[in-house]
């Protein structure tokens, strides 16, 4: 398998003590419960082990000791049963409040759909704009994620938002959050879902409302060519193509070094003479475009029992991908 992070290392995760940096409103409840349990455990670990050693020493058997039946200490037993109960009730109270915060959408919430498929995340916004491997959310606005799976069970996890929820085929599951810090965060899949489960990642970007509106209106742009009036040179297009190759998880099935993964390798793919199931082709822009839009139209010989997923790329993105494929010699 290829190593992902090496080429397009996503923004490194920042840490806040033992937890990733908190970037959403509900995160504080989760952290409170976590640290309460953590320090509670450390405190009683020290007290209980300390006392145990002390008593072992103090009450060790000495010459002339006689064995006596220990008395019943019902009161103490009741005490150490009831006292921790209060602690559990407090934990439940705070935990439940946090759970409700991450389950019920606040006023003015927007809906974003997330689809899990082996092995990528697709995000779709209210106006139909879609992008794979990248989730953009506005700051200080409740967001309801409506999640579904196209194949097996996945699990949607954004550590910075402290949300995690299973994504199950045949049903919708929801999770709610409100980001309160600008910047990058991360999506992980936390349910083992097959060969490339560990590569099923996505970037999150928390942006201002204006930036969010223009993003869903115009669709993804080449991040390497931001000036809309200047023509984008081929090498910068290729650079975006490479980023798309990773973020759309093409990398999980098509190698760059000639090794055979689930699909044919992309090494020297552009211009290659390929034998198909019932035909032959010299791979060019049209063939690549067709293979992305209609993956089952022309299948390379020997790959009939694997299904390439539909990847919803815009024309601009397909163009960038073609430029990139030209560079894999």
Positions touching ligand CUA (CB under 6 A) are: 116, 119, 154, 189, 191-193, 197, 200
Indicate the residue among 114 and 189 with the shorter CB distance to ligand CUA. Answer: 189
Indicate the residue among 79 and 306 with the shorter CB distance to ligand CUA. Answer: 306
HSE-up of residue 209 (Cα within 13 Å, Cβ side): 8
CB of 243 to ligand CUA, least distance (A): 21
CB of 150 to ligand CUA, least distance (A): 11
CB of 311 to ligand CUA, least distance (A): 16
CB of 153 to ligand CUA, least distance (A): 8
Indicate the residue among 169 and 223 with the shorter CB distance to ligand CUA. Answer: 169
Distance between CA atoms of residues 201 and 15, nearest Å: 19
Indicate the residue among 103 and 168 with the shorter CB distance to ligand CUA. Answer: 168
CB of 119 to ligand CUA, least distance (A): 6
Indicate the residue among 121 and 245 with the shorter CB distance to ligand CUA. Answer: 121
- Token pair in block for residue 105: 């959408």
Per-residue buried b or exposed e for 255-267, using 16+ beta carbons within 10 Å of the residue's own CB: bbeeeebbbbbbe
315-327 and 285-293 helices cross at what angle (nearest 10)? 130
CB of 190 to ligand CUA, least distance (A): 7
Q: Can you give the chain as a three-state secondary structure string? A: CCCCCCCCCCCCCCEECCEECCCECCHHHHHHHHHHHHHHHHHHHHHHHHHHHHHHHHCCCCCCCCCCCCCCCHHHHHHHHHHHHHHHHHHHHHHHHHHHHCCCCCCCCEEEEEEEECCEEEEECCCCCEEECEEEEECCCEEEEEEEECCCCEEEEEHHHCEEEEECECCCEEEEEEECCCEEEEEEECCCCCCCHHHCCEEEEEECHHHHHHHHHHCCCCCCCCCCCCCCCHHHHHHHHHHHHHHCCHHHCCCCCCCCCCCCCCCCCCCCEEEECCEEEECCHHHHHHHHHCCCCCCECCCCCCCCCCCCCCHHHHHHHHHHHHHCC
Indicate the residue among 166 and 285 with the shorter CB distance to ligand CUA. Answer: 166
Indicate the residue among 115 and 197 with the shorter CB distance to ligand CUA. Answer: 197
Indicate the residue among 136 and 193 with the shorter CB distance to ligand CUA. Answer: 193
CB of 1 to ligand CUA, least distance (A): 14
CB of 168 to ligand CUA, least distance (A): 11
CB of 202 to ligand CUA, least distance (A): 11
Indicate the residue among 168 and 225 with the shorter CB distance to ligand CUA. Answer: 168
* Interstrand relation of 173-178 and 142-149 (parallel, antiparallel or unpaired): antiparallel
User: What is the chain's length?
Assistant: 329
């Amino acid at each position: 398998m290829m190593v992902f992070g090496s080429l397009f290392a996503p923004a490194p995760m920042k840490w806040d003590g033992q937890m990733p940096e908190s970037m959403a409103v509900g995160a504080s409840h989760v952290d409170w419960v976590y640290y309460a349990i953590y320090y509670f455990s450390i405190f009683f670990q020290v007290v209980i082990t300390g006392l145990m050693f002390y008593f072992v020493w103090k009450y060790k058997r000495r010459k002339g000791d006689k064995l006596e039946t220990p008395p019943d200490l019902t009161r103490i037993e009741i005490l150490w049963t009831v006292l921790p109960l209060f602690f559990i009730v407090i934990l439940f109270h705070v935990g439940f409040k946090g759970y409700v915060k991450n389950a019920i959408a606040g006023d003015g919430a927007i809906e974003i759909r997330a689809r899990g498929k082996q092995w990528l995340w697709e995000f779709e916004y209210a106006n139909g704009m879609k992008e794979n491997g990248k989730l953009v959310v506005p700051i200080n606005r409740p967001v309801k994620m409506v999640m579904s799976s196209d194949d097996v069970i996945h699990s949607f996890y954004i550590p910075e938002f402290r949300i995690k929820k299973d994504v199950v085929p045949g049903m919708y599951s929801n999770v709610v959050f409100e980001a309160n810090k600008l910047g990058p965060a991360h999506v992980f899949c936390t349910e083992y879902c097959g060969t490339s489960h560990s590569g099923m990642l996505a970037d999150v970007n928390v942006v201002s409302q204006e930036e969010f509106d223009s993003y869903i209106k115009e669709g993804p742009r080449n991040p390497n060519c931001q000036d809309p009036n200047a023509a984008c040179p081929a090498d910068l297009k290729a650079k975006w193509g490479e980023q798309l190759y990773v973020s759309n998880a093409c990398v999980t099935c098509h190698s760059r070094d000639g090794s055979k993964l689930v699909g044919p390798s992309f090494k020297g793919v552009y211009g290659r003479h390929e034998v198909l199931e019932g035909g032959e082709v010299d791979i060019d822009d049209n063939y690549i475009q067709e293979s992305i839009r209609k993956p089952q139209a022309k299948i390379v010989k020997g790959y009939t029992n694997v299904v390439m997923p539909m990847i919803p790329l815009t024309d601009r993105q397909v163009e960038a991908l073609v430029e990139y494929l030209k560079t894999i010699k």
